[in-house]
A and B are shown apart, each in its own frame.
Chain A
Amino acid sequence: MATALETVRDYAGGGEYKYGFTTDVGEDRAAVGLDESTVRFISNKKDEPTWLTEWRLDALRRWQGMVEPDWQKPQYPTIDYQAISYFSAPKSPDDRPKSLDEIDPEIRKTYEKLGIPIKEQELLAGIAVDYVFDSVSVATTFKKKLNELGIIFCSVSEAVKDHPDLIKKYLGSVVPQGDNFFAALNAAVFSDGSFVYVPPGVRCPMELSTYFRINAAGTGQFERTLIVADKGAYVSYLEGCTAPMRDENQLHAAVVELIALDDAEIKYSTVQNWYPGDRNGKGGIYNFVTKRGACRGKNSKISWTQVETGSAITWKYPSCILQGDNSQGEFYSVAVTNNHQQADTGTKMVHIGKNTRSRIVAKTISAGRSDSTYRGLVKMLKSAEGARNYTQCDSMLIGDRCGAHTVPYIEVRNRSSQCEHEATTSKISDDQLFYCRSRGVPEEDAVALIVNGFCREVMEELPMEFAVEARKLLGVSLEGSVG
């Protein structure tokens, strides 16, 4: 009979990554290395207008003058940015498929292995799926229905051609080219991503969803997503990812910008399951992402919900700039690390407008030899009279070789604001495990059950279909416990 301690050690062993496979698809990629010619190659390949090429080159020049940050907790070997290929696309990107039948069968198989067959996705309660495969969208569904409402949901590349005014107005308006090292890199070489625009007063009737996937060895992934909710509009957006098994580390530096005007609301949900590396810490994705939302209008609201189970390193802080009076920002997060994974994640809530409110609920689960940090900033400017924040950080440890850290930064510059911060740390107890098992629930399921209970407040924020997937994912991420 395994002792409790052995059980705990088994978590350290972790499970094999279930989605580790690669797809054999011909690709079209940029030469290795990054300079002006690389940026021009990408821009040319995508047939972009001159202003965008210049915008990218401006970003490149800023990036070249920047130093990679080193204040984060996760440690990783130096990245050679000249050894990375900065663009890859499926064969014949000019010849885009007209229907799902025209999609490369290999790609379709990949999605089926992930348990998201396209047919089913279409049928799923009104989800429009914009598949991103190796950086270029290959299928967009439900477009017609959205068109009727004036909602634009397409790839950024398409939007550059079809809606240049919107792109010019909003691209880089929340995360400027020179914002930080990785955002600048992204601005210079971003491949593609999703663009959403919801016109005034329109409530998007379905969840918009994109599945991201890294597929080519040695290829960085540089997605760029831009979502604009005009006055009184509402949209809920889902982002989910899995990645195939690879030995070398892959860099993922995405940028997501959200803009909510007066009385608008954006709900952005992520389930992140990039390849975390094997149980010895070999391989895995470096996920260095800049996500930021601007509540520009009065009474606007932006809500981030994330379930982070993948990547060797997760380094991201989905943030809200609460500019409009009475605007609201929310951040709900579950971060699971196992084996040798490292996560440094949290949020920034910057209160500028009057009576702005923010709510942060962060749940961290560490197992194996992993290390997880919650890092969050709550900043209340002088103008943010009557602002309020509530922050709750809960950490759960599985085993005795993992780490959990909570690093809150609170800056308040006026007397009428209120900040609350609560933090707890707990362990899955032997008592809880035995209790579940004595009722017939096998050990792995018991762990998943207890962890899901711990995360319930966050899981409840996810859209229904996504929540089911995410619950399964939490179980899968902590599998491999019964020896």
Chain B
Amino acid sequence: MLKIENLKAGVEGKEILKGLNLQVKPGQVHAIMGPNGSGKSTLAYVLAGRDGYEVSGGSVTFDGHDVTEMSPEERAAAGIFLAMQYPVEIPGVANSYFLRQALNAIKKARGEPEVSAAAFMKLLREKAAVVGVREDLLKRDVNFGFSGGEKKRNEILQLAVLEPKLAILDETDSGLDIDALRTVAEGVNRLRSPERSFIVITHYQRLLDYIVPDVVHIQAHGQIQRSGGKELAGELEEKGYDAMIGAVAA
């Protein structure tokens, strides 16, 4: 599904990803762990196609197509979704309105019929129930005045509605207390399917207790340093990044 080969990318001429390789198969959940400055968020932005993140080498193939030249909206239509570390507020725009516009934009790009307002509200309520989002959140402005937990849950709701093939969760656990973390993780688990893959970017092993990954990668210095099963996360928690990355270097 996703194949990243020798990816080199950066911001403002500074190379941050230095030949990164990663392969994700349909239905798999991959966790990427790494210390601050290892380029985890850069990878997320590069995959989503954010302006200013320039790819200088290598390739990103999604469903057999090179996506590096695609705009963010084209990638969304292709089925890539990024749940952001800091979801953005859009004052004056109702959450439900925003989501319908997004869903219909994606449908339009795919040449599918758009969803009526009534049908969408029904769909939205179902999805909100699945991921544990209260109805009043649907009427409020996008992320405006939301608590940290509400913002992250709203990202998962968007994921549920837009039904991507690949969801990238960028530090979804940051700023969440244990209860909020559990709710978010439960939402994600309900959205796992044989067709949908996840890349879960996180600092801590804690999130992986709830979203159990198939593969764990340790990223540092713009590259994947080590890959393994879920036990790798436990080992990392125990030994710390320095020891693990140092061990690789040695």
For B68, the closest partner residue in chain A by CB is A1
Q: Are B76 and A453 in contact (CB under 8 A)?
A: no
Q: Is A443 an interface residue (CB 8 A)?
A: yes
* B85-112 contact mask (Cβ, 8 Å, vs A): 1 or 0: 0111111110000110111011001000
The 8 closest A-B pairs by CB, nearest first: A453-B92, A440-B76, A453-B93, A456-B92, A437-B72, A440-B106, A439-B102, A435-B88
B54 within 8 A of partner (CB): yes
What is the chain A residue whose CB lies nearest that of B72?
A437
Interface residue? A449 (CB, 8 A): yes
Select one of B52, B92, B105 contacting A452, CB under 8 A.
B92
Q: Is B49 an interface residue (CB 8 A)?
A: yes
Provided the pairs A1-B49, A435-B84, A440-B105 are in contact, do residues A453 and B73 lie with their beta carbons within 8 angstroms? no
- Give the interface centre of B82, B88, B109 by most chain A CB atoms within 10 Å: B88
B71 touches A432 (CB 8 A): no
Across the interface, name the chain B residue whose C-beta is closest to A451.
B92
Whether B48 sits at the interface, judged by CB under 8 Å, is yes
Interface residue B226 (Cβ < 8 Å from any Cβ of A): no
Q: Is A118 an interface residue (CB 8 A)?
A: no
* Distance of A457 Cα from B92 Cα, bound (Å): 8
The answer to whether B51 has its CB under 8 Å from any CB of chain A is yes
Instruction: Please determine whether A441 and B73 come into contact, CB atoms closer than 8 angstroms.
Output: yes
> B141 at interface (Cβ–Cβ under 8 A)?
yes
Number of A residues contacting the other chain (C-beta, 8 Å)? 28
Task: List 17 extra interface pairs beyond A435-B90, A439-B81, CB under 8 A.
Answer: A1-B51, A2-B51, A7-B51, A431-B86, A434-B48, A435-B87, A438-B48, A438-B73, A438-B81, A439-B99, A441-B73, A442-B73, A443-B73, A445-B105, A449-B101, A453-B93, A456-B92
Cβ of A159 under 8 Å from chain B: no
Residues from chain B with a CB closer than 8 A to the CB of A147 are: none
Which has the most chain B C-beta neighbours within 10 Å: A2, A7, A435?
A: A435
Q: From residue B57, how far is it (CB to closest CB) to chain A in Å? A: 15
Q: How large is the interface on B (under 10, 10 to 19, 20 to 34, 35 or more residues)?
A: 35 or more
Known: A1-B54, A445-B105, A449-B98. A439 touches B158 (CB 8 A): yes
Q: Are B51 and A440 in contact (CB under 8 A)?
A: no
Interface contact A440-B102, CB-CB below 8 Å: yes
- Report yes or no: B72 in contact with A438, Cβ–Cβ below 8 A: yes
How many contacts A-B (CB < 8 Å)? 91
What 1/0 flags go to A301-331 for Cβ under 8 Å of B? 0000000000000000000000000000000
For residue B69, CB closer than 8 A to chain A, the reply is: yes
B1-59 interface with A by 8 A CB criterion: 48-52, 54
B51 touches A434 (CB 8 A): yes
B137 at the interface (CB under 8 A from A): no
Determine whether B184 belongs to the interface, using a CB cutoff of 8 Å to chain A: no
Contact mask for chain B residues 158-184; partner A; CB cutoff 8 A; 1 contact, 0 none: 100010000000000000000000000
A438 adjacent to B76 (CB under 8 Å):
yes
Q: For chain A, what secondary structure do more than half of its interface residues adopt (helix, strand, loop), or is it mixed? A: helix
Interface residues of A (CB under 8 A from B): 1-4, 7, 429-432, 434-443, 445, 449-450, 452-457
Q: When the two chains form their complex, are residues A1 and B101 in contact, meaning their CB atoms are under 8 A apart?
A: no
B60 at the interface (CB under 8 A from A): no
Interface residues of B in 103-144 (CB under 8 A from A): 103, 105-106, 109, 141
Please state if B105 and A442 are interface contacts (CB–CB under 8 Å).
yes
Let me know if B77 is at the binding interface, CB within 8 A.
Answer: yes
Interface centre among B92, B93, B105 (most CB of A within 10 A): B92
A453 shortest CB reach to chain B, Å: 3
With A440-B106, A442-B73 in contact, do A453 and B51 touch (Cβ < 8 Å)? no
Question: Once the chains are docked, how many angstroms separate the CA of A434 from the CA of B90?
Answer: 12
The interface residues of chain A lying within 8 Å CB-to-CB of B102 are 436, 439-441
B93's partner among A2, A429, A449, A457 (CB-CB below 8 A) is A449
Evaluate contact between A434 and B50: CB separation under 8 angstroms.
yes
Q: Which of B76, B91, B92, B141 is the one whose CB lies under 8 Å from A439?
A: B76
Q: Which of B50, B77, B84 contacts A440, CB < 8 Å?
A: B77
Does B101 lie within 8 Å of A437, measured CB to CB?
no
Whole-angstrom CA separation of A450 from B48 in the bound complex: 20
CA distance A431 to B84 in the complex (A): 11
Which B residue sits closest to A433, measured CB to CB?
B51
Shortest distance between the CB of B154 and any CB in chain A (Å): 11
6 contacts between A and B (CB under 8 A): A1-B71, A437-B71, A437-B73, A440-B77, A449-B93, A449-B98
CA–CA, A3 and B52, complex, Å: 5
B93/A450 in contact, CB under 8 A: yes
B106: chain A residues at CB < 8 Å are 440
Report Cα–Cα, A3/B12, bound state, in Å. Answer: 10
Beta-carbon nearest neighbor of A441 in chain B: B105
The reply to whether A453 and B105 form a contact with Cβ atoms under 8 Å apart is no
**Contact at B101–A441, with CB atoms within 8 Å?**
yes
- Chain B residue nearest to A437 in the complex (CB): B72
